[in-house]
Structure 1
Amino acid sequence: MTNFDLKEIITVGMVLFAVIDIVGSIPIIVGLRAKHGHIESEKAALVAGLIMILFLFIGEEFLSLIGIDVHSFAVAGSFVLFFLALEMILGIRIYRDEEASSASIVPLAFPLIAGAGTMTTLLSLRSQFHTLNIVIAILLNIILVYIVLKSSGKIEKMLGQNGLGVIRKTFGVVLLAIAVKLFAANVKGLFL
């Protein structure tokens, strides 16, 4: 366990928390619950966690299979994070998903929790942090996702729209700073 680093776990955990944006997704979750009834919180959290861990380990091999190096993917990921951060800070919607037909694993686990932004972020983080710390951060985030899914109605009532907005904008700024750091750290690798 020589690679275990609490600081890395906290950093990666915060990045994933901001990208997954489960608190900012509460209005979507509440809407899905109202539209389709029961949400399978356990199943959605487990599947999202498995998708994220699987992509963390085989994502790089998949990229090399199609001829893309980690630095290129990390720079591309920094752009995705940048636009996600802009969405969170400015309250705009750049990327639009199709309307969900049911509140099953598909709209929750993928793409809401383990979507394209999360996948890109995982490989970008892998170029900067130890894999063990990333896995621990994923597991901590999945536990948090499960708690939020289970108590989304209570959280929405407790925070209100203004509270959710403040949290979303705060993590948007953090995400923007991380996007700039990822870009700066990996752009040099494109020209070596």
Structure 2
Amino acid sequence: MYQSYLEFAVTVFLGFFAIVNPISNIPVFINLTAYMNDERRKQIAFRACLIAFCIIVVFSVAGKFIFYVFGITLAALRVTGGILVFVIGYQMIMGNDNNTNVNKGVKDDVQPDQGISMAITPLAMPLMAGPGTITTAMSFSASKNITHLVMVILIYGLLALIAYACFLSGKRIVKLIGENSMLVITKMMGLILSVIGVQMFAQGANELFHWK
């Protein structure tokens, strides 16, 4: 029995890690919080991980019921998530790099609510708790065994802690590899996010409209 639970835990962790991939989200986080001070950056990272964790908990416990009550389909969720991911990726590719220095120390005062908005979208959803992650959580927690449900929630909580640590280590990583290298990685990540967004949109549209 313990071996089966261990195998289940490993499978769930690898499944979540492959989809969320907190390491690949570091450039996104750095790009979005470049103008913030360290304290504000920690707040955004914590809120993003906490919100993502709460989303997964809710959908793990009552995902099918929520979809049923609001008449939501997974295909529609994929289409919406795809659009959001594409927009963020496009902004990372085409964004003005000088904005980091020009607006540093200014935006915190001009837009006090931007932090929580940023923590929700795009960091928490769809990057950390997107359609793929929600579907995976619902699938793993579909078992009638309550132990499996608890394991899914705890394992995603562990992944959220890993993501939080990765976000906070982002600045050190930039110093280690250099700003120019980080800029290249950010542009590449923006391209990858755009492609993922298009793929997510196409998959959702195909399911939504039954294209062949």
Deviation of 1:78 after TM superposition, in Å, equals 0.2
Q: Deviations along 1:138-167, whole A, 9 cap, x unmatched?
A: 33211211333xxx3x55555554233212
How many percent of aligned residue pairs carry the same amino acid? 17
Confirm or deny that 1:47 pairs with 2:51: no
Match of 1:144 among 166, 169, 186: 166
Tell me if the contact between 1:18 and 1:175 (Cα under 8 Å) persists in the aligned partners: no
Tell me if the contact between 2:89 and 2:194 (Cα under 8 Å) persists in the aligned partners: yes
Deviation of 1:130 after TM superposition, in Å, equals 4.0
How has the CA–CA distance of structure 1 residues 102 and 117 changed in structure 2, closer, same or farther, with 3 Å as cutoff? Answer: same
Q: Deviations along 1:50-83, whole A, 9 cap, x unmatched?
A: 1111123336566654443232121111011111
**SS of structure 1 residue aligned to 2:39:** coil
Match of 1:81 among 79, 85, 90: 85
**Distance in 2, Cα, partners of 1:127 & 1:55:** 8
How has the CA–CA distance of structure 1 residues 120 and 67 changed in structure 2, closer, same or farther, with 3 Å as cutoff? Answer: farther
Which residue in the other structure is 2:15 paired with?
8
Match of 1:170 among 188, 194, 197: 188
- What count of residue pairs does the alignment treat as equivalent? 175
Which residue in the other structure is 1:180 paired with?
198
**SS of structure 2 residue aligned to 1:162:** helix
TM (norm. structure 2) is 0.61
CA RMSD of aligned residues (A): 3.8
Tell me if the contact between 2:22 and 2:166 (Cα under 8 Å) persists in the aligned partners: no
Tell me if the contact between 1:13 and 1:138 (Cα under 8 Å) persists in the aligned partners: no
Which residue in the other structure is 1:23 paired with?
30
Which residue in the other structure is 1:120 paired with?
126
Letter in 1 for 2:91: E
Letter in 2 for 1:138: A
Deviation of 1:124 after TM superposition, in Å, equals 1.4
Deviation of 1:187 after TM superposition, in Å, equals 2.1
Match of 2:72 among 57, 68, 86: 68
| Unmatched tracts of structure 2, length 5 or more | 98-105, 139-151
**Distance in 2, Cα, partners of 1:115 & 1:165:** 22
Q: Deviations along 1:87-128, whole A, 9 cap, x unmatched?
A: 1122259xxxx9433998x554x2334424642342412355
Tell me if the contact between 1:48 and 1:113 (Cα under 8 Å) persists in the aligned partners: yes
How has the CA–CA distance of structure 1 residues 130 and 120 changed in structure 2, closer, same or farther, with 3 Å as cutoff? Answer: same
TM (norm. structure 1) is 0.66
